[in-house]
Amino acid sequence: MSAYILCLLLFCIGIYCVLRKRNIIKIIVGLGIIEYAVNLFLVLIGYRSHGRAPILAKDQQILNMVDPIPQALVLTAIVIGLAVTALIVAIAIRIYEKYGTFDITQIRRLKG
Amino acid sequence: MKMLPFFVIIPLGSAFLISLLGKKIKKSPDILANLGALGLLALSFYSIGLVSVHKVLVYKVGGWMPPIGICMVMDGLTSFMLVTVNLVSFLVTLYSVNYMERYSDKYRFYTLFMLMLAGMNGIIITGDLFNLFVFLEIASIASYALVAFGTEAEELEASFKYAVMGSVASSFILLGIALLYSYTSTLNMADIYLVLSQKGTGIIVNFIAILFLAGFGLKAALVPFHGWLADAHSSAPAPISAMLSGVFIKTLGIYALCRIFFNILGASARVFSVLLILGVISMVVGAFLAIAQRDIKRMFAYSSISQIGYIVFALGIGTPLAILGGLFHLFNHAVFKSLLFLNSGAIEYSTGTRDLKNLGGLNSRLPVTGFTSLLGSMSIAGIPPLGGFWSKLIIIIAAVQAGYLGTAVVAILVSIVTLAYYLKFLSFAFFGKLDAAWQKINPVRNTNFCEERNKISNGVKEVPGLMQFAMLVLAIICSVSGLLIAPLCKDFLPSAVNVLLLGKGYAQTVFTALK
C-alpha cells in the first residue's frame, strides 16, 4: 500500500513542478516526473509478491507470476514519453534562441 | 472487414513515402498527400454503406481473438466521425498545396500532417483502450510540432504551452487507463463494459471517470481547461488551424469522451449533469472572450470553445433528440469552422495581416473569400436556411423538451453574441471602404512574401484556384448540410446517434460480430 501512496506523492510533486515553476526546463523536468509516476503505477499494478517472470518452459508449472501486460504497456509509454520530451526540449532550445531567457514570466508575446 | 486497418495504413504509408521522396522529387509531397487524403475520403464514404448493411464490423489485428488481441471496430459513430475527419482533411490538403508555398520544407509539413491524420483515424477506429492512447499520442505529438511549424517566437511559445498542457492531459488519461486495467484486467473496450457490469461500479469507477473527464476535457478545451487553445490554434499555419479547430479537438475530446462515457463506463446521471454544466460554461465564456478579439484567428479560436460548449451541452442533456443535435452540430462545426480558418488563411495570404483594425473593404478584391466567409459566418451564427441553424435549433428544442428552460435561453443568447462577433469580423474585414494600403504596394505593413507578390500584381488579389475550390466546396457543404436530418440520409447521422443511445448494447454487438 505504501508503494501506491509514494507513487501518488511522486505524481503530485510532478504536478506541483509543472504548475509552480517559472523556468521552462524545470517544467519539462516536472513533466518527466509525472510521466515516470504513471509508468511506476503501471508496473506496480502488474506486480505480485514473490511472482516470477511469465515465461513458460517445458515441464514447468507457473503458480505465481507477475502480469506481463502492464510491462508491455510501460515500454510503449516510455517510448512515447521520450518522443514528447525530445520535442519539448527542442522547442525550449528554440524559445531560448528567440527570447534569450528560460523564464516563462518573460515569454509573453501572446495575450488576450 | 479487411479494409478497416487501411484507415491507419494509408496516412502512415503516405507519411513515410513523403518523407522519403519529398526532398528529391519536387511535386511528390503534394500529389502523395492529396491522393492519400482522397483515398481515405473514398474509403470513409464506402464505410457508410458497409455499416448500413452489417451494423458492426470488427477486424482482429494479427488474427488474435479480441479480449486478448487488439481489435478495430467500425460502427455508425465510427463511420460518421471518419467521414467528417477525412472530408475536412482532404479539402485542407488541397488548400495547402498553394498556401504552404510560403514556408520552406513543405514535405515535412505533409509528413506531420499525415501522421496527425493517422493518429486521428486510429483513435476513431480502434476498439482497444491502450491502442486509443497510443494513437492519441501520435496525433498530439504531430500537432505540437505543426503548431510550431513557422518557428517564430509566438509559434514556439504557443506550441510549448500546448505541449505542456497536452502532456499533462495524456498523463491523466494514461493513469485512468491504468486504474481501469487494474480494476477490470482487460483493455478491450467491449470487454471492459462486460466486466464492469458484472463487478459493479464503485468509487473507483467514479474516480476513473473524473480522470478521463479531466484528460479528454483538456484535449477538447472545455472551459476550465481552455487556456492553450486560443494560442495554439491562432499561431499554427491556417490549414493546421482548420484541422485543429475543425476536427482535432472533436476527435480527441468529444469522440473519445462519448465512446468512453456512453459505451464503456455507462453514463450515469451525475456524468450527464457535469457535461451539461461544463458545456454551458464553455458556451458563455468562449463567446464573450471571442467578442473582444482583434486578431481574426484568435476570434475564431475562442468561437471554437463556445461551439464545443454547444456540443457538450447537447450530449449532457442526453435525450435522443439532443444527441442527434450534438452530433449534427459537431459535423456542422467541423465544416464551417475549418472554412472560416481557411478564409482567415486566404486573407493572410493576400494581405499579410490578420488584424481586423488594418483590414476593410476586401470584398471587392477577394470576392470568393468574402462570399464563402459570409456563408460560413452566417451558418455558425445560425441564420435559417444554413446548416448551423438546424443543429442549434434541434439542440435548443431538445433542451426545452428535457426541461432545461434556463439553459435553453442561455444557448439562444449565446447564439446572438455569436452573430454579433461574426458580423464584427465581416464588417471589419470585407465591408466598407477598401483600405488605401491594399490598393497599391505597401512595404511597411506587408510581410516580405506579400510585398514581393504585391509588387508584381499591384495590389491585393484573389487567392489561387485550389484554395478557392477548397473554400467553395466547404461553403456549399455548410449551406446544404441541413439536409442531413432529412430521411434520405438516415444511414449517416441517425446511425451514429443509435450507437450512443445503444450504450450498453455496444459490447453485445461487438461480440456478436466476432462470432
B200 burial type by CB count under 10 A (0-12 exposed, 13-18 middle, 19+ buried): exposed
| CA angle, A39 then A45 then A50, to 5° | 115
Looking at residue B123, what is its pLDDT?
94
Copy the grid coordinates of residue B356: 481586423
Q: Which helix (H) or strand (E) holds B230?
A: helix B227-235
Whether chain B has a CB inside 8 Å of the CB on A1: the answer is no
pLDDT in tens, chain A (112 residues): 888 899 999 999 999 999 999 999 999 999 999 999 999 999 998 888 888 888 877 877 777 888 888 989 999 999 999 999 999 999 999 999 998 888 888 888 776 5
Provide the CB-side half-sphere exposure for B386 (13 A, CA).
23
Q: Under 8 Å CB-to-CB from B508, ≥6 apart: which residues?
A: none
Contact B271, B180 (CB under 8 A): no
Distance between the two ends of chain A, CA-based, in angstroms?
46
Whether chain A has a CB inside 8 Å of the CB on B68: the answer is no
pLDDT tens digits, one per residue of B246-304: 899 999 999 999 899 988 887 778 888 999 999 999 999 999 999 888 889 999 999 99
Mean model confidence pLDDT for chain B: 87
Residue B387 has pLDDT above 80, yes or no: yes
Q: Under 8 Å CB-to-CB from B413, ≥6 apart: which residues?
A: none
Contact B163 A87 (CB under 8 A): yes
A38, A91, A108: residue with CB nearest B148: A91
The pTM assigned to this predicted structure is 0.92
The torsion angles phi and psi of B71, rounded to 5 degrees, stand at -130, 160
CB pairs under 8 A between A and B: 91
Question: CA-to-CA distance for B487 and B503, rounded, in angstroms?
Answer: 23
In chain A, which ranges are continuous DSSP H helix? 2-20, 24-46, 68-99
Question: CA-to-CA distance for B160 and B142, rounded, in angstroms?
Answer: 13
Query: What is the nearest CA distance from A80 to chain B, expressed in angstroms?
Result: 7
Distance of CA B454 to the CA centre of its chain: 34
Question: CA-to-CA distance for B128 and B130, rounded, in angstroms?
Answer: 6
- CA-closest candidate to residue B59, choices B8, B5, B12: B5
The three state secondary structure string of B300-344 is: HHHHHHHHHHHHHHHHHHCCHHHHHHHHHHHHHHHHHHHHHHHHH
Among B133, B138, B170, B211, the strongest candidate for a mutation testing the A interface, having the largest count of A CBs within 10 A, is: B170
Task: Please tell me whether residue B190 adopts helix, strand or coil conformation.
Answer: helix
> B186 to chain A: nearest residue by CA?
A69
Looking at residue B116, what is its pLDDT?
95
Higher pLDDT, B310 or A63: B310
Contacts of A38 in chain B (CB under 8 A): 171, 174-175, 178
Looking at residue B455, what is its pLDDT?
46
Contact A95 B148 (CB under 8 A): no
Of A54-58, B22-26, B223-227, B306-310, the one with minimum mean pLDDT is A54-58
A-facing residues of B in 155-174 (CB < 8 A) are 156-160, 163-164, 167-168, 170-171, 174
Residues paired with residue B128 on neighbouring β-strands, in sequence order: B188
Contact B178 A41 (CB under 8 A): yes
Contact B144 A76 (CB under 8 A): no
Largest CA distance in chain B: 73
Contacts of A80 in chain B (CB under 8 A): 134, 137, 141
In B28-75, which ranges are continuous DSSP H helix? 28-54
When pLDDT is cut at 50, 70 and 90, the band that residue B460 belongs to is low
- CA-closest candidate to residue B102, choices B509, B503, B470, B453: B453
Looking at residue B498, what is its pLDDT?
84
**Residues of chain B with pLDDT > 70: what percent?**
95
Average pLDDT over residues B382-397: 89
Whether chain B has a CB inside 8 Å of the CB on A17: the answer is no
Contacts of A110 in chain B (CB under 8 A): 154, 157-158, 231, 235
ipTM of the complex: 0.94
Copy the grid coordinates of residue A7: 507513487
A6-31 burial: b if 16+ Cβ within 10 Å, else e: ebeebbeebbebbeeeeebeebbebb
